[in-house]
Chain A
Amino acid sequence: EVQLAESGGGLGKPGGSLRLSCAASTFNFSDYTMTWVRQAPGKGLEWVSSITPDSEYTYYADSVKGRFTISRDNAQNSLFLQMNSLRADDTAVYFCALISLLVGSTDSWGQGTLVTVSS
Chain B
Amino acid sequence: AIQMTQSPSSLSASVGDRVTITCRASQDIRKDLGWYQLKPGKAPKLLIYGATNLESGVPSRFSGSGAGTHFTLTITSLQPEDFASYYCLQDHNYYRTFGQGTRVEIK
User: CB within 8 Å of B: which residues of A?
Assistant: 33, 35, 37, 39, 44-47, 50, 52, 57, 59, 61-62, 95, 97, 99-105, 107, 109-112
| Interchain CB contact under 8 A, A44 and B43 | no
Judge whether A109 and B96 touch: CB under 8 Å: no
CB distance from B73 to the nearest CB of A (A): 14
With A99-B89, A101-B91, A104-B53 as contacts: A45 and B96 at CB distance below 8 Å: no
A86 to B1, CA, bound (A): 24
Chain B residue numbers with a CB within 8 Å of A62 are: 1
Q: Contact: B50 with A95, CB < 8 Å? A: no
A114 to B7: give the CA distance in the assembly, Å: 28
Residues of B whose CB lies within 8 Å of any CB of A are 1, 32-34, 36, 38, 42-44, 46, 49-50, 53, 55-56, 85, 87, 89, 91, 94-101
The CA-CA distance from A39 to B95 in the complex, in Å, is: 17
Contact across chains for B98 and A101 when beta carbons are under 8 A apart: no
Is A47 in contact with B43, judged by CB distance below 8 angstroms? Answer: no
25 A-B pairs whose Cβ atoms sit less than 8 Å apart in the complex: A33-B94, A44-B99, A44-B100, A44-B101, A45-B44, A45-B87, A45-B98, A47-B89, A47-B98, A62-B1, A95-B44, A97-B44, A99-B34, A99-B91, A101-B32, A101-B33, A101-B34, A101-B91, A103-B49, A104-B49, A107-B55, A109-B43, A110-B43, A111-B43, A112-B43
| Chain B neighbourhood of A45, CB < 8 A | 36, 38, 44, 87, 89, 98, 101
Is the beta-carbon distance between B98 and A107 smaller than 8 angstroms? no
Distance of A71 from chain B, by nearest CB (Å): 16
